[in-house]
Amino acid sequence: MSALEQAIFAVLAFAGVACAVAVVTGRDIFRSTLFFGGFLLSVAGLYFALSAGFVGIMQVFVYVGGVVVMMLFGIMLTERRGALSSSLDRRLTVLGPVVLLVLVVIAAIVNTTFRVVNVSLETAVGELGKLFVGQYVLPFEIVSVLLLAALVGAIILAKERGD
């Protein structure tokens, strides 16, 4: 790994951790959602740094472009304005399991030997695209219609409650 790659990884990792901490510690739900979007963008950046362009693009499209925008619309459509609970007792109750989880993940990463697999990424993404518009076009379109139906149903439910 070159020095530039390590620097890019360090910046993206720091941005991800900073955004994640801001999501958890924030008292405004709107800003917490924006920081959640920043966290997801930093994860997409890590995918791009690992030469997984397709996964990075899907991260941006599906999670940042879909989930975060949907959460922001949900927050803006509900007329509740206020701060999240900032009780110190609640945060300290959550701190123990989170620290334990972080320690377990760090121990797992340190004790794991990772194998490197050489794959031609250009052909992998190209083949995946051909499969989406070829062999798997029907399941792909069924999923898109299902997502559209869920979106229309959510709009109808939100409109009925708003009347």
Each residue of 66-83: pLDDT tens digit? 888 878 777 777 766 555
Maximum distance among all Cα pairs of the chain, rounded to whole angstroms: 59
Please give the structure tokens belonging to residue 138: 């029907």
Where exactly are the structural domains of the chain?
Answer: 1-86
Which are the contacts of 38, defined by CB distance < 8 A and separation ≥ 6? 15, 19, 22
**Tens digits of per-residue pLDDT, 89-145?**
666 677 778 788 888 888 888 888 877 766 665 566 777 778 888 888 888 888 888
Ramachandran bin of 84, using left for φ above 0, alpha for ψ from -120 to 50, beta for the remaining angles: beta
Alpha helices in 26-136 (DSSP H): 29-49, 53-58, 69-77, 88-110, 121-133
Annotate 92-103 with b (16+ C-beta within 10 A) or e (fewer): eeeeeeeeeeee
Higher-confidence position of 43 and 95: 43
At 20-32, the pLDDT tens digits run: 988 888 878 888 8
The fold of the 1-86 domain, in CATH, is Four Helix Bundle (Hemerythrin (Met), subunit A) (1.20.120)
Length of the chain counted residue by residue: 163
Angle, CA 46 vertex, CA 45 and CA 50 arms, to 5°: 115
Cβ contact 64:40 at 8 Å: yes
Whole-model pTM? 0.57
